[in-house]
Amino acid sequence: MNSKKKLITLITSVALIVAIGVGATLAYLTQKTDTVTNTFTIGSYETQALSLFEHKVVKNVDTGDYAKTTDTTTTGNTYTAILPGTTLSKDPTMTLAKNSPSSFLVMKATGLNQLPAGISVADLDSNHWTQITVPGASANDTYYIYCPNGNGQAGYLTATELSSAAVTTAPLFTRLSVASSFNGANIGNLVFEGCAVQYGSDMGTNYMTSVVSALPADFIA
Partner 1 sequence: MYHGNHENKQMPSDPGHKKKIGTVFLALLLIAAIAVTGTMAYLAISAGAVENTFKAATVSCKVTENFDGITKSHVNVVNTSDTDAYIRVKLVTYRANDKDQHIGGTAAIPSFTPGANWVEHNGYYYYTLPVAPGEKPASDLINSIDLTAKYIDADGGKQVIEVMAEAIQNAPAQAAGEAWGVTISAGSVANFSRT
Exactly one of 63, 127, 153, 168 binds partner 1 (CB under 8 A); which one? 63
Nearest Cα to 107, choosing from 123, 91, 89, 87?
Answer: 91
Q: Provide DSSP, 95-116.
A: EE-TTPPSEEEEEEEESGGGPP
Exactly one of 55, 68, 101, 134 binds partner 1 (CB under 8 A); which one? 101
Exactly one of 83, 122, 159, 208 binds partner 1 (CB under 8 A); which one? 83
Does residue 171 bind partner 1 (CB under 8 A)? no
Exactly one of 79, 98, 159, 177 binds partner 1 (CB under 8 A); which one? 79
Whole-number minimum distance, CB 107 to partner 1, in Å? 9
Give the burial class of 211: count Cβ atoms within 10 A of its Cβ; 0-12 exposed, 13-18 middle, 19 or more buried: buried
Query: 3-class SS at 11?
Result: helix
Contact 187, 123 (CB under 8 A): no
Does residue 192 bind partner 1 (CB under 8 A)? yes
28-47 positions binding partner 1, by CB under 8 A: 43-45
Q: Could you give the maximum distance between any two Cα atoms of the chain, in Å?
A: 133
Does residue 155 bind partner 1 (CB under 8 A)? no
Smaller CB distance to partner 1: residue 30 or 47? Answer: 47
Q: How far apart are CA 164 and CA 196, in angstroms?
A: 18
Which residues contact partner 1 by CB under 8 A?
43-45, 49-54, 60-65, 73-86, 88, 90, 92, 94, 101, 180, 182, 184-200, 210-211, 213-216, 218-219
